[in-house]
């Protein structure tokens, strides 16, 4: 009897979770950034009305299928999600090439591309332009925070193991609440850098939620990373992100 009750409860919970996922339409899009045309992957909830929106920023590897899948999953949660291609069509799974691609993106061009993505979303009739946020992983996490520095209209910012900014003059410009997620074993972002970032955000009186996952390194949320993926931490980070975005964008 107890087993049957537990099974029934599990089925009710599973139904509740699955029923929250909306049907989504996806498409490749083009947007103008400066004098260039850049690509994006757009996921839109298949429901009427205005929706909150997210600029989805890819990892060091570029706009891969994994990043597109994250945009689709965010669409299922009710967001118009635009994954913008900051590498101009380049993708790789070679760490050395990825590094070269990442450092080859001038900061001012990255900001220009992200602003183009913001304006693209804000102009859509199915988007609530007051509720546009950003989320990124690794290099995209850094860019997500850069967008918060440069775009006062941004309503929420999620940084997944992106290099933190600690310059007071930069942090003073942030208006959006920030969720910052790191792995304790990330050799590229030592705890000292995280502590400096937290202290600087606190001094600037900026809203910051922080989570550091023990035993997790860089890229721990990417299920395609055979060595770095940490399922439990990744699941918690995803739920934490959805809760944070729901609080500030819905």
Look at strands 24-33 and 36-45 and give their pairing.
antiparallel
Residue showing tokens 């799974």? 93
Residues 6+ apart with CB under 8 A from 225: 219
Residue scoring higher pLDDT (242 or 19): 242
pTM of the model: 0.91
pLDDT tops 70 at residue 1: no
Question: What DSSP string runs through 151-206?
Answer: -TT--EEEEESPPP---HHHHTT--S-EEEEEETT-TTS-HHHHHHHHHHHHHTT-
> Which pLDDT score, from 0 to 100, does residue 13 have?
40
pLDDT tops 70 at residue 5: no
Reported as a single tens digit per residue, the pLDDT across 91-131 is 999 999 999 999 999 999 999 999 999 999 999 999 999 99
Reported as a single tens digit per residue, the pLDDT across 17-34 is 433 688 999 999 999 999
Tally helices (H) and strands (E) across the chain: 8, 8
Reported as a single tens digit per residue, the pLDDT across 208-225 is 999 999 999 999 999 998
pLDDT tops 70 at residue 228: yes
Residue showing tokens 């299922």? 76
CATH 3.40.50.1820 for domain 23-249? yes
Measure the CA–CA gap between 55 and 144, rounded to whole angstroms. 8
pLDDT tops 50 at residue 73: yes
Residues in the chain: 250
pLDDT tops 80 at residue 83: yes
Using alpha carbons, select from 47, 89, 63 the residue that is nearest to residue 55: 63
Using alpha carbons, select from 189, 233, 242, 187 the residue that is nearest to residue 211: 233
């Amino acid at each position: 009897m107890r087993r049957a009750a537990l099974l029934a409860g599990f089925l009710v919970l599973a139904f509740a979770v699955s029923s929250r996922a909306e049907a989504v339409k996806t498409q490749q899009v083009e947007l103008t950034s400066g004098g260039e045309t850049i690509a994006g992957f757009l996921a839109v909830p298949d429901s009427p009305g205005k929706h909150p929106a997210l600029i989805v920023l890819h990892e060091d590897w570029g706009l891969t299928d994994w990043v597109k899948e994250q945009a689709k999953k965010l669409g299922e949660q009710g967001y118009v999600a635009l994954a913008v291609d900051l590498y101009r069509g380049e993708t790789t799974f070679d760490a050395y090439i990825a590094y070269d691609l990442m450092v080859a993106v001038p900061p001012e061009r990255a900001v220009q591309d992200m602003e183009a993505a913001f304006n693209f979303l804000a102009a859509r009739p199915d988007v609530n332009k007051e509720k546009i946020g950003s989320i990124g992983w690794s290099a995209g996490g850094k860019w997500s925070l850069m967008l918060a520095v440069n775009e006062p209209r941004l309503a929420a910012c999620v940084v997944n193991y992106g290099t933190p900014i600690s310059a007071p003059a930069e942090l003073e410009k942030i208006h959006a609440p920030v969720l910052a997620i790191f792995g304790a074993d990330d050799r590229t972002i030592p705890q000292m850098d995280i502590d400096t970032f937290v202290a600087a955000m606190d001094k600037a009186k900026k809203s910051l939620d922080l989570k550091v996952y023990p035993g997790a390194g860089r890229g721990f949320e990417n299920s395609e990373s055979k060595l770095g993926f940490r399922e439990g931490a990744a699941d918690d980070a995803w739920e934490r992100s959805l809760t944070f975005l729901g609080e500030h964008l819905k």
